[in-house]
Every structure is written in C-alpha cells, then in structure tokens.
Chains A and B, each alone.
Chain A
Amino acid sequence: METGITPEAIKMIAAAATIAIGGLGPAIAIGMIGSRGLEAIGRNPEAAGKVQTSMVLGLAFAEAIAIYALVIALIVKFV
C-alpha cells in the first residue's frame, strides 16, 4: 500500500474540483440570463414569446459550458 498522496487521491480531488469550479461561471451566467429575461418580459408582456425563445436559447449555450466541465470530470474519474 502506498503512503502519502496517491494518484488515486489526486484523481478524486481533480474530478471534484473540475465540476465545482466549472459549474460556478455557468451558474452565474444562467442566473443573469434568467433575470434579464424576466425583466424584459415584465417591461413588455406582448413580446413574451420572442423573449422566451431567445432566453431559452441563451440558457442552453450557458448550460453547455457546465456540461463540458462535467464531461471532463467524468473522464478524469472513469477513464
């Protein structure tokens, strides 16, 4: 049995840190997109459909970044 910090331990820490830090930016981005979208709908309820469509699109792009981080974390842990 190895003593000290083993490669297994580093792998676990790396996988956890990847998704923890990588989810930070997208979380803030999604919150801002959602808040501006709701503000826009509140100011102009007639354009709600258009605003909603563009907002969902922007949300998908922002969420994709978090998914990239998640995929890297999965690769680090399981491959």
Chain B
Amino acid sequence: MEISLAAEKIGHIGSFPITNSMLLSWIVSILLIIFVMIATKKMKLVPTGIQNFFETIVEVLFNTADGVIENRNETKKYFPLVATIFLFVVCNNWLGLVPGVGSIGINEVKEGHNVLVPIFRGGNADLNTTLALAITAVISVQVFGIAAIGTIKYAKKFFNFSNPINFFVGFLEIISEFSKMISFSFRLFGNIFAGEILLMVIAFLVPYIAPLPFFFLELFVGLVQGLVFMMLTLVFIKGATSEAH
C-alpha cells in the first residue's frame, strides 16, 4: 500500500511537470464550465431542467452568503468569488471519490521497487491546490477591503501609530493574515488527504461492504470543507470591509 504525500508527476508540458491532482482539477474546471454553459443557454424567465437545478444551487449559496454579510448589495459583489471557491472545492472532493481515481494508474519503478502511480488523484489532496486557493482567498479579502473602505483607512488597521499597544496589535494582524493562508490550506489539505488514506486503509482491510459508511463520511466531509472555506472567506471579507472600531 503506497501512500505519497506529494502528488505524483505523470507528464510534462515542455519543462512544466503535470501532476495527477492537477489533471483532475482541470477536468473539474472543464466540467463546471460546460455545465454552466449548458445551464445558461437560452435562459427562460420560469426556469426548467438544468437551469432550474443551477438556480437552486445559486439561490441556496446566495442565501447562505447573505446570512453572513446581511446586505444584499454587498453580497452581490462578493458572491462570485466565494461561490466559485465552494463549487470548485466540493466538485474536486466529490470527483476524488469516483471509482478509478487513485486506483487506475501506471506501474513505475521508484527507488528499486514497483509502485503504482495513479493517473487521477483528488484535486485538494495536493497541498499546491489548497495553497493556491488559500492565497487567492486571502489576497481577495485584502482587495475587497481596500475597495470598500479605501487604502488609507485599510492600512490604518495594520499600521496604527497612535500608541505602542495599537502598533503591536496592528503588527499581529499582519502575522494573522499569513496564518490565515496556512490555516486555510492545511485544513482543506489535511481533511481530504486523510480521508483518502482512510479509504485506502479500509479498502485494504475489508474490501466489501465496510468502506460504505466511510464513503458517506467522505462525501459529508467534502461538502463541509467547501462550506467552511466559503464561510470563513465571507467572515474575513465582512471583517475587512467594516470600519475599524
């Protein structure tokens, strides 16, 4: 049973290595784009079919986001980013559970013994993907904050020279922004990667029937981690776009 912390490389474009989780992320992106294009072609006022399904998803997500920000106009500004993060994370997690992901692969010889290199691997089971999402989210929070209250007021949150305590607190705020990046990426990566290992171990021990409850657990965890990523980003946006007290 081979477990690799880093995603394995399966090809190259020029000198840029392609990993198996990158491949699945591309497939997820293409599927999402195709799905949305089908859902928004020839839109009707009373939706039916795929447009209805997609409008349900958008309505549920919008109400959830509105529950955090409590201001419909502001929510409209921030909704595209957080909803995309949610859909991308959830689809990546769920597609990582499809049979074939992690089991169909190429036999290679690494360090003397034979290993199976899977062609597909859960997109968020690679720290690179989750770190990219985390950096995007945190930088977007800064950009939204500057757009909402202006550069000087926003910088005053971090560089406050009125008295030494406030200066120290501002410095801690800067460090806390970086810790948000680490925390976002490791939360998502740890949950999904540990889930993959759990499924592999259970399938190794008892291949039939017993993995079922663990697959349900992984479906649930995949959804909850996407939800948590979205809600945390929203909470940080709300904090960044509000005036300092």
Chain A contacts to B: CB under 8 angstroms: 49, 53, 56-57, 60-61, 63-64, 67-68, 70-71, 74-75, 78-79
Contacts and interface: CB of A to CB of B under 8 A. Distances in A.
A70 B235 contact: no
B67 A60 contact: no
Interface in B181-206: 183, 186-187, 189-191, 193-194, 197
Nearest 3 interchain pairs by C-beta: A67-B190, A60-B228, A64-B187
B194 A57 contact: no
A75 B5 contact: yes
Contacts of B190: 64, 67-68, 70-71
Nearest to B193: A74
A78 to B, nearest CB: 5
B231 A56 contact: yes
B61 interface: no
Given A61-B183, A67-B187, 6 more contacts: A57-B232, A60-B187, A64-B186, A64-B190, A67-B191, A75-B5
Given A49-B67, A70-B190, A64 B5 contact: no
8 contacts: A56-B228, A56-B231, A57-B231, A60-B228, A64-B183, A64-B186, A64-B187, A70-B190
B68 interface: yes
Contacts of B197: 74
A16 B36 CA distance: 45
B15 interface: no
Contacts of B193: 71, 74
Nearest to B189: A71
B5 A78 contact: yes
Contact of B3 (A60, A61, A64, A78): A78
Contacts of B5: 74-75, 78-79
A72 B19 CA distance: 23
Contacts of A53: 67-68, 231
B4 interface: yes
A57 B4 contact: no
Given A70-B194, A74-B5, A74-B194, A63 B231 contact: no
Contacts of B4: 78
A61 B229 CA distance: 11
Interface string B28-47: 00000000000000000000
B186 A68 contact: yes
Interface in B36-73: 67-68
A60 B189 contact: no
A60 B194 contact: no
A14 to B, nearest CB: 16
A7 B207 CA distance: 32
Contacts of B228: 56-57, 60
Which of A61, A64, A68: most chain B CB closer than 10 A? A64
A61 B179 CA distance: 12
